[in-house]
Amino acid sequence: MEDKRLTLAIQKSGRLSEGSINLLKKCGIKIQNGNNHLKANTSGFPLEIIFLRDDDIPQYVADGVADAGILGYNEVLEKDCKVNTVYNLGFSRCRISVAVPRNVDYPGREFLAGKRIATSYPGILEKYLAQHKLSAEIHPISGSVEVTPALGLADAIFEIVSSGGTLISNGLKEVEIVMQSEAVLITNQNMSEEKSALLDKLLFRIQSVQAAENNKYILLNAPNDKIDLIASMIPGMKSPTILPLTMEGWSSLHSVISETDFWQVIDNLKEAGAQGILVIPIEKMVL
Residues of this chain that bind ligand ATP (CB under 6 A): 11, 14-16, 53-55, 72, 74-75, 92-94, 160, 162, 181
Q: How far is CA 75 from CA 78, 226, 231, 260, 267, in A?
A: 5, 52, 45, 28, 42
Minimum distance between the CB of residue 24 and ligand ATP, rounded to whole angstroms? 17
What's the rounded Cα separation, in Å, for the pair 237 and 215?
A: 10
Query: Are 111 and 132 in contact, with CB atoms under 8 Å apart?
Result: no
| 3-class state of residue 233 by DSSP | helix
Instruction: Closer to Mg ion by CB, 54 or 67: give it.
Output: 54
Residue whose C-beta lies closest to ligand ATP: 72
- Contact of residue 72 among ligand ATP, Mg ion, none (CB under 5-8 Å per partner type): ligand ATP
Nearest distance from residue 160's CB to ligand ATP, in Å?
5
- Of 54 and 159, nearer to Mg ion (C-beta) is 54
The residues, any chain, with a CB within 8 Å of residue 75's CB and separated by 6 or more, are 54, 55, 57, 58
Of 94 and 222, the one with the shorter C-beta distance to ligand ATP is: 94
**Of residues 54 and 146, the one with the C-beta less far from Mg ion:** 54
CA–CA separation, 83 and 67 (whole Å): 10
Spatial CB neighbours of 117, under 8 Å, sequence gap ≥ 6 = 98, 125, 136, 137, 138, 139, 154, 155, 156, 157, 158
Cα(192)–Cα(198) distance, integer angstroms: 10
CB 8 within 8 A of CB 67: yes
What is the maximum span of the chain, computed from C-alpha positions, in angstroms? 78
CB under 5 to 8 A by kind: which of ligand ATP, Mg ion, none does 162 bind?
Answer: ligand ATP
Q: How far apart are CA 184 and CA 90, in angstroms?
A: 8
The yes or no reply on residue 78 touching Mg ion (CB under 5 A) is no
Choose between 94 and 199: whose C-beta lies nearer to ligand ATP. 94
CA distance linking residue 52 with residue 202, whole number of Å = 20
Q: Which of 55, 126, 182, 213 binds Mg ion (CB under 5 A)?
A: 55
Choice between 55 and 126, CB closer to ligand ATP: 55
Complete edge-to-edge strand list for the sheet that includes strand 68-72: 30-31, 39-43, 47-52, 6-11, 68-72, 183-187, 84-88
Binding pattern to Mg ion, positions 5-44, x when CB under 5 A?
Answer: ----------------------------------------
Total residues in contact with Mg ion, by rule CB under 5 A: 2
Minimum distance from residue 114 beta carbon to ligand ATP (Å): 28
With vertex at residue 24, the alpha carbon angle to CA 23 and CA 30, rounded to the nearest 5 degrees, is 140
Select from Mg ion, ligand ATP, none the partner in contact with residue 16, using the beta carbon and a kind-dependent cut-off of 5 to 8 Å: ligand ATP
Residue 181 contact partner, candidates Mg ion, ligand ATP, none, CB within 5 to 8 A by sort of partner: ligand ATP
Interface pick for Mg ion out of 42, 52, 54, 257 (rule CB under 5 A): 54
Q: Is 56 in the site for Mg ion (CB under 5 A)?
A: no
- Chosen from Mg ion, ligand ATP, none, partner binding at 24 (C-beta under 5 to 8 Å by type): none
92's contact among ligand ATP, Mg ion, none, with CB below 5 to 8 A by partner kind, is ligand ATP
Q: Is the Cβ–Cβ distance between 215 and 281 less than 8 Å?
A: no
Binding-site ranges for Mg ion (CB under 5 A): 54-55
